[in-house]
Each structure stands twice: as C-alpha cells, then as structure tokens.
Amino acid sequence: MASILVTGGSGLIGSNLCNLLKSKGHSVFVLSRSKTKKSNTFYWNIDKNYIDKEAIINTDYIIHLAGAGIADKRWTTARKKVLVDSRVKSTNLLFQKVKELNPNLKGFISASGIGYYGAITSEKTYFENDTPHNDFLSKICMLWEKETAKFNSLKIRTVIFRTGIVISKEGGALEKIIKPIKLGIGAALGTGKQYMPWIAMEDLCNMYLSAIENIEIKGIYNAVTPENITNTMFTKITAKTLKKTLWLPNIPAFILKILLGELAIMLLEGSKVSSEKIKKTGFKFKYNSLENYLNKTLN
C-alpha cells in the first residue's frame, strides 16, 4: 500500500479521491493552505515557498489538484494571476522540495484541463497531441503542464489528466446547471451547440487510482467520457431527469458576457475531446451516458 499526498485534497475532487484511496488501503495525506491539527493534513504556503518537510519525505505519490477556482470569480488581471500562480508556482514549489529532499517518489500525478485545447466550438475532436490554443485557459494549462513535466527530469513517472467538466451531485458544474432548471428558468446557453466534454466524479477518481496502480500509465491523458454531448443536449437531459420543463429560449451569449466577462467563453464554447488514449490503457468507464449517470445520482 502506498503513502499518497494530495494537494487540494480538501476540494471537490480531492475529498472524493481521498475517500477512494483510503478505501483501497492507502495512507492518504492532504497538503493544505489551512493550518489544522488533523494528523493527516500538512501545511504549505506557496507565496513563502514553504511546505512541511514531513509531507514530502515519506510520500510515494503526489497527486496535485490544488488551484484557485477557475469559474469562481470574474477574470480580472489580479484574479488571473491567482489562477496561474496557484497552479504553476505550486507545482514549482513541489518540484523544488522533491529535488531538495529526494524522497523515494514513484509518481507525480497532476490535474490539468481540456481548456488546453481552447474555447472553440467546432466538430473537430481534440487528442492529447494537439497543440494548445492561445486563450487564457489554454495558457494556464500549458504553463501548468510544462511545470509538471519537470518531474521527468528527476526520472519520476509523471501523469497529467486533462480533465473535462466533472459531474458530481455534491457540487461543481452540475449544481450550477440544476439550480435554474429546478426554479423553472433553465435554458441552454448561447447557441447551445457547444460541446461539453464531461466525466463522472467516480470515473475520474478511478482514473487517478489506476494511475497509481498501473505503471504503464505515463504522460498526458484526456479525462472525459466517450460520450459527446452539446450544451442543449446536456440541459435537456438534466431537465428530463429532474422532471422539469424547459420553456425559455437559449440565454443569449451577450448576457453571459455582461454578467461574467471573459469567463463566459468557458460556458459558450467547446469541442469534442477524445478518451481513446486512456481507454487503450485498459481503463473502463463506469458511466458513458449522462442520462444513466444523472438517473442514478439525482433520482
């Protein structure tokens, strides 16, 4: 059984993942910006280049999920810096500490996002070897992945999951989609034709687990289900599951842009993303259909 350090382990994905890893018998530790007396939580301060040494020296794997919430606030210049630094500077700090303390680290596994491919609506399917786009989200992902790749220079197995929209009944995107539908004011966004590559929380956590158990998994993988659905389809399936009627026209793009600023492109654009590479490792998705997943989790 392995000793695993999860940065951002207190978050939506992290807390689910920690529970799964513990249930498989692993020793799980969280690296957090909050000082706590919990025996399984270590402290770090990214701005001060500080990490509790004990967090690093006995760890077999680091799973790096920490990062300020991408869709939590408008993307002002200051907010953009927080979004980048919380991912890139944090990765660099982990790299520097691993280099300095030289633990017997067997793997560094990091989140990234399908935002790497850019906020573009098209019929193209994006694969792991596609080049990044040049908008803000692509830049964050590119810088984050570049920093992560430094672990290769220490001969440490490195895995990156370019994650789609994580669907979970506990929060995140689904909560925001469900709220207006329950209130009877749900509607598709913009043209509604943008794809929404998604992944069920359970499948994503199982993917991280498989990255620990299967040493053949190395490099970059898209973490999305094989199903390609548009925003209109997503909205309709969610309403159907909740037994609610959609009667409003699509919410115009300009309204979302006024309300959210540049961040609105995350909601208004999207293409298909391939899951072939992770499937070739033998990984099996439990949920290939949003309808089945929502029926199971919401009803």
Ligand X SMILES: NC(=O)c1ccc[n+]([C@@H]2O[C@H](COP(=O)([O-])OP(=O)(O)OC[C@H]3O[C@@H](n4cnc5c(N)ncnc54)[C@H](OP(=O)(O)O)[C@@H]3O)[C@@H](O)[C@H]2O)c1
Q: Where does this chain bind ligand X (CB under 6 A)? A: 8, 10-14, 32-34, 46, 65-70, 82, 86, 90, 111, 113, 163, 165-166, 172-173
Helices 77-101 and 136-148: angle between axes, nearest 10 degrees? 10
82 close to 121: Cβ distance less than 8 angstroms: no
In the complex, the smallest distance separating the C-beta of residue 18 from ligand X, rounded to whole angstroms, is 11
Beta carbon of residue 193, minimum distance to ligand X (angstroms, whole number):
21
Residue closest to ligand X (Cβ): 11
Q: Pick between residue 175 and residue 254 the one whose CB is nearest to ligand X.
A: 175
Query: Residue 112 burial by CB count (10 A; 0-12/13-18/19+): exposed, middle or buried?
Result: buried
Considering the complex, what minimum distance in angstroms separates the CB of residue 171 from ligand X?
Answer: 7
* Complex with ligand X: residue 91 or 246, whichever CB lies closer: 91
We find the least distance from the C-beta atom of residue 222 to ligand X, in angstroms, to be 11
Q: What is the DSSP string of 155-206?
A: T-EEEEEEE-EEEETTEEHHHHHHHHHHTT----BTTS-SB--EEEHHHHHH
Whichever of 227 and 246 has its CB closer to ligand X, that residue is 227
Task: Give CA–CA dist 76/149, Å, rounded.
Answer: 28
| Residue with smaller CB distance to ligand X, 148 or 163 | 163
Contact 242, 185 (CB under 8 A): no
Q: Which is nearer to ligand X, 205 or 256 (CB)?
A: 205
Structure tokens at 170: 């506990």
Q: Shortest gap between Cβ of 249 and ligand X (angstroms)?
A: 27
CB of 73 to ligand X, least distance (A): 11
Of residues 164 and 246, the one with the C-beta less far from ligand X: 164
| Alpha-carbon gap, residue 218 to 206, rounded angstroms | 16
Where does residue 184 fall: left (phi above 0), alpha (psi -120 to 50 degrees), or beta otherwise?
left
Residue closer to ligand X, measured from CB, 111 or 209: 111
Least distance to ligand X, CB of residue 38, Å: 11
C-alpha 287/C-alpha 280 separation (Å) is 17
On whether the CB atoms of residues 197 and 270 are closer than 8 A, the answer is yes
